[in-house]
Structure 1
Amino acid sequence: DIPCITVVTKLELEDGKIIAEREVEGGTQVIEASLPAIVTAQKGLNEPRYASLKGIMMAKKKPIEEKSPVMEEAKISVLKMEYPPERKGGKIVGSGKEAVPELVKLLHEEAKVI
């Protein structure tokens, strides 16, 4: 299994592992994971750099190196794809205080949640 850390706002690499920070409700969460790992970024992880005029002019003069693509064997494969199971339609019980006893009965007998 590969660890996955989402909405990361700060990332550090250290001794073959990553230390990621992400904002959660009420504070910041720090997560440590081994490599390789999947990380998704949140705005604020990096400040984009803008090219200077000198850099743009130098890039125009730089030769473009062409490489042939190397097709490697896929490291993952799809075992199967299937539709989710059919769901039963919902029920409209009624409205107001009159619907409460019937709703409680349905939740108890059919949904078995209470």
Structure 2
Amino acid sequence: MNLPVSVTTIGLLTASNLFMTVAWYGHLKFKATPLFLVILISWGIAFFEYVLQVPANRIGYGHFSAAQLKTIQEVISLSVFVLFSWVWLGEKLTWNVAAGFACICLGAFLIFHNFGGSGH
């Protein structure tokens, strides 16, 4: 089954960001674990981030510009992080964080909108 490039790219980037978020922030609940061990475990988890991220960018480039790929990755990353910090770390989404993310989403809109110029 051949999925559209956009679906494949966004799916791989989403899965990649799940691994990235766990690698970067999952250990925060385990402050007693020695730092060197946390680093090694995080590197092991981050390996799978790269296994998914690199093909996502390779598949998506050409359909999306490099700036669009990075923007998709950042929006997914922030979305995954908000859910992760709420579910795993027990943090609430505050109005100012939501407003900051909304500004980033506005930036994403600008990157994807063609205002009559050339480009993607």
TM-score relative to the length of structure 2: 0.20
Taking CA–CA contacts closer than 8 Å with sequence separation of 6 or more, which of the two structures ends up with the larger relative contact order? 2
Q: Point out the structure with the larger strand share.
A: 1
Larger-Rg structure: 1
TM-score relative to the length of structure 1: 0.21
Q: Point out the structure with the larger helix share.
A: 2
